Amino acid sequence: MNLHGEIREIFSHLRNILLLEREIGLESPLIPSEGAIGSDTGDCAGRNASGSSGSPDALKALREQIGNCRRCKLHQGRSHLVFGEGSPRARLMFVGEGPGREEDLAGRPFVGEAGKILTRIIENGMGLSRKDVYIANIVKCRPPNNRDPEQDEIEQCLPFLQRQIRIIQPEIICALGRVAGQAMLGGDFRITRQRGTWFSYMGIPLMPTFHPAYLLRNPSAKRAVWDDIQAIMKRLGLKGRKHV
């Protein structure tokens, strides 16, 4: 790489950091446009249907900040850190508890059997694609033997999820399962009693529902999940499909 290219890379990295700070509410100096540092692409930050901004650069900067994370013991057995994926301008954000085996191997959220159910909900039920929403987890590394994340692990990882939420600014969050619900709403939350009820997290409406993995063991709960999804669709003004 020549000197000019190195300078462009340095400025691009600094700009990503400033974008991240701005998205999470920190005061930052004026952020130059990509054109000002010699890039062929324009500013990729945009606005979603609710008027909020979602910056791919800010998400990229957050991922770089997390790096090869060793902040808790979960890093010891992971294959890949699973950051999250989807639209940085998503109106709807799904949050699960943590990566499973397939997700750990792929480095992507919800790609195993439970992920296939979530994809059917999004595509067959809501009439969207996975690229239209954002999917993440409470913790970004797989707990051993798919156990529940422990409190110290959640405490280390939750701030990164909160930053993702601040960057994306979704209109609605859907918490998938008991662990995600308790992490965001408190330990007194009970998924069997409180799913289907609207809550608020970081000022954003939150709907908890059963985790897709729960549906693998309890197919009869599909009706309840579909009811919750329909409540989300109504709030977003989506017609979707008649069934999942």
Q: Please choose, from the candidates 151, 77, 84, the residue with its C-alpha nearest in 3D space to the C-alpha of residue 111.
A: 84
- Look over the chain and give the mean of its residue pLDDT values, rounded to a whole number: 85
**CB neighbours of residue 41 within 10 Å:** 8
Is the distance from CB of 172 to CB of 92 less than 8 angstroms?
Answer: yes
Rounded distance, CA 116 to CA 200, Å? 27
Rounded distance, CA 170 to CA 160, Å? 15
More confident residue, 10 or 145: 145
Mean pLDDT, residues 149-166 taken together? 98
For 219-227, the CB contacts below 8 A with 24+ separation are: 224/195, 224/196, 225/121, 226/125, 227/196
* Complete domains list, the chain, with CATH: 1-43 (no CATH), 45-236 (3.40.470.10)
Rounded distance, CA 34 to CA 242, Å? 44
By DSSP bridging, strand 85-86 and strand 134-137 are antiparallel
pLDDT at 70 over 60: yes
* % of the chain beyond a pLDDT of 90: 75
Q: Which residues pair with 82 in a beta bridge?
A: none
Rounded distance, CA 215 to CA 230, Å? 17
Q: What is the pLDDT of residue 9?
A: 54
* % of the chain beyond a pLDDT of 70: 77
Q: Please choose, from the candidates 40, 42, 167, the residue with its C-alpha nearest in 3D space to the C-alpha of residue 93.
A: 167
pLDDT at 123 over 70: yes
More confident residue, 55 or 38: 55
Mean pLDDT, residues 36-44 taken together? 31
Dump pLDDT digits (tens) for 193-220. 999 999 999 999 999 999 999 999 999 9
Mean pLDDT, residues 108-119 taken together? 98
> DSSP string of 144-197?
GGGPPPPHHHHHHHHHHHHHHHHHH--SEEEEESHHHHHHHH-TT--HHHHTT-
9-18, 64-73, 90-99, 109-118, range with the lowest pLDDT:
9-18
Q: What is the pLDDT of residue 242?
A: 59
